[in-house]
Structure formats: structure tokens, C-alpha cells
Amino acid sequence: MVPLYARLRVLSTAQEGDRFDYWVGNDERQWGLEVSGTIDEDLHTRHRAKIRQLLSNPFGVDGYVAVTKFSTRESLFSLHRYRRENKMTPSQNGSISRRGLPARFIQDEKETSRLILESNLLKSQQRRKELLDGFELNSLLRQRITEYLDVLKTRVDQWMTYYAPDVAAVAD
């Protein structure tokens, strides 16, 4: 949704305490992005909660909220402005300037963004082990990562089995 609707890219994963999940932006500016999903909860209730979370960020930056309800395949994607009354903010337009960053930093960040999107795509296609292709890893590290991915896959499968809605058969 970010590249399609906001014409931005994922720059990096946010740090704990940032109050959102990712930094998104372009070569000029950056904003926060909070992402969430639910199976049963009301989509609008979850969306409002995530807006409050995003707007409590310590940077005073504006940002986007993307929320999906998996059971109905609905999504909400919206931009939210940080309230600026009596608060110091990075800029009047609510974003952080990225001007003056070295060209190498921008290039590395674009590659990181591409890898984040590619890994999310492979994960959504259940092709997790392909995430390791193309990386120079020693055999021990590759084995540990593969085992960890297997544990994560098992946990996701268990979670989806537990929380998936019951499917009722329809009689002919």
C-alpha cells in the first residue's frame, strides 16, 4: 500500500519505543508507518487505536496507518498529522528532512527497502527459505537460521489454526 498509495518506500524498521513499525519516505523526507492486522476485531476500532499509537510518537512526525482485517480482506490506509500545539516538531510539514544525506547512505537504504519488500513477498508466498538465497553464510549460521525459520513457520501455522474462523460446509 505504501508504494502504491503514498508513493513512498519503506526505509527501515523503527526502534522499540518509536510508537510505529517503520520509517517510510523518499529521498527528501521521511514519516512513520504503523501496520496492524486483525482477524475478528472491528477494523475501525483497531484503526483508531493504531492512529492514537502513531500520534504518540516521540519525534512529533506525521505518519501513515495501515490496518487489515484478514477475515474480510478489508484494509484501511491513512495519513495522520501530529498535533503541533506548543510542541517542537521536526518541521512545519510534519516530516523529517533527509537532505544532505550521503549518496551511499541513500543507495544502501534503497537496497534495504527492496530487501524488506522482497522478504515480505516471499513470506506471504510461504517461500521463507528463499530469503537465505544469495547471502554468503557459513553452514552453521545457515543451519541455525533455517531451524529458526522452521520454528517460526510452525508457530504461525499453530496461530492460524487456532485463530482461523471456522468454515462451515454448505449442503448442496
Model confidence pLDDT, tens digit, residues 30-83: 999 999 999 889 999 999 999 999 999 988 899 999 999 998 989 999 999 987
Are residues 32 and 57 in contact, defined by beta-carbon separation less than 8 angstroms? yes
**Sequence-ordered list of residues with C-beta below 8 angstroms from that of 55, at least 6 positions apart, any chain:** 63, 80, 82, 83
Q: The pTM is what?
A: 0.58
What confidence tens digit (pLDDT) does each residue in 117-167 have? 777 777 777 776 676 676 677 788 778 888 877 887 787 777 766 655 554
CA 15, chain centre distance (Å): 12
Band (pLDDT 50/70/90 cuts) for residue 105 is confident
In 3D, which of 100, 29, 101, 103 has the Cα closest to residue 59?
29
Would you state the pLDDT for residue 117?
Answer: 76
**Separation of alpha carbons 58 and 152, rounded Å:** 31
Q: What's the average model confidence in pLDDT over 91-97?
A: 66
Fold category of 2-100 in CATH = Trna Endonuclease; Chain: A, domain 1 (3.40.1350)
| H and E: helices and strands count for the chain | 3, 6
The domain segmentation of the chain, as residue ranges, is 2-100
